[in-house]
Amino acid sequence: MPAPSLPVRSYAQLCGIATALDVIGDRWTPLLVRDLMLGSLRFGDLVEGLPGIGTNTLTARLKLLEEAGVLQRRLLDLPDRGTVYELTDYGRELEPILMALGRWGTKSMGRLPGDVSTRSRWLVAAMLAFHDESRSVSRPMTWELRLNDGEFGVRADGNELAIVAGPATGADLVVTTDDTSLHGLLTGQLSVSRANADAGREARRGRCSVASAVVSVRLPGHRVAVRRLDDECSGSVRRCGGGRRAETAEGHGARMGCASPVYEQHGCRPANPARRSG
């Protein structure tokens, strides 16, 4: 591929770190790349997934990354209409770099303010960042994680883990849970037995444990993040009129009619009957 162009504003230093920051060093840019790591997104989805970014700023960042060869636009085939943004092969080279940066950044999470934003996509990205390659599955497995912001396909093969946004094709196991419960399992705040008892699950083949979907991932526990997730979940249940904390999208949450207890931005919406196991 031709050499990516650099922005007009540059550190102008003969240094790879400085050159990299010329491309992704602006505010919002690394987070934009983070959200695209799990799959292509429309402009509106990017705005929704980056609380606080202005549309003019997003447009400028997308233009810079496209000119640098980090991302590209793709016109959706019919019957879908519109344009999505996706990382190029060059842009995907940033994944291990951002994952390492994320692991480093968790050590400073205790400094976060009390009012922070949360998204399922960010939690799933953390699963990739903290995947333990020393652990492996005995056979290739595919899971579909149904979280508060949608579905994610998880594929484990040996000691490799891949995650993409969207439904999984031919899933061995469908795990329906909320972000609080998944975060608790990943950080060790929620036991495996409790996770298996609480999480709504629909196994297509066999009696697989819900915990097996995240067996090779261990997130560091941070009380600030856990408290924030718990507060949002409790608050959304109060908006639903329920007296018990919803721990899954199916089960407690579905009976209260709250499909997305943690991250539903505008209060409650009716649970999708198609998502209930029957």
Q: State the CB neighbour count (10 A cutoff) for residue 6.
A: 15
Q: Which of 116, 182, 171 is nearest to 149 (CA)?
A: 182
| pLDDT, average across residues 146-168 | 92
Which residues in 89-223 belong to E strands, given as ranges?
A: 141-147, 150-157, 160-165, 173-176, 200-203
Q: Chain-centre distance of CA 176, in angstroms?
A: 15
Name the segment(s) of the chain with CATH classification 1.10.10.10.
16-93
In a 10 Å sphere around its CB, with 0-12 CB exposed, 13-18 middle and 19+ buried, how is residue 203 labelled?
A: middle
Max mean pLDDT among 6-10, 16-20, 239-243 falls in 16-20
| pLDDT, average across residues 17-36 | 96
In a 10 Å sphere around its CB, with 0-12 CB exposed, 13-18 middle and 19+ buried, how is residue 234 labelled?
A: middle
Q: State the CB neighbour count (10 A cutoff) for residue 245.
A: 16
How far is it, in rounded angstroms, from Cα 97 to Cα 94?
A: 5
Q: Chain-centre distance of CA 59, in angstroms?
A: 22
pLDDT for the residue 205: 38
Report the chain's terminal Cα–Cα distance, integer Å. 51
The string over 247-264, giving b where at least 16 C-beta atoms fall within 10 Å of a residue's C-beta and e elsewhere, is: bbbbbbbbebebbbbbbb
Which residues in 77-167 belong to E strands, given as ranges?
A: 83-87, 141-147, 150-157, 160-165
4 residue type, one letter: P
Phi, psi of 26 (to 5 degrees): -75, 155
| pLDDT, average across residues 106-127 | 88
- Whether residue 240 is predicted with pLDDT greater than 80 in this model: the reply is no
Size (the chain), residues = 278
Half-sphere exposure of residue 266, counting CA atoms within 13 Å on the CB side?
Answer: 3
Pairing of strands 173-176, 141-147: parallel
CATH among 3.40.50.261, 3.20.20.300, 3.90.400.10, 3.30.1050.10 for 117-278: 3.30.1050.10
Of 25-39, 86-100, 227-241, minimum mean pLDDT range: 227-241
pLDDT tens per residue, range 187-215: 777 776 666 666 544 433 333 444 555 55
CATH match of 16-93 with 3.40.190.80: no
Instruction: Determine if the peptide bond prior to 79 is cis (ω within 30°).
Output: yes
Cβ-contact 57, 28 below 8 angstroms:
yes
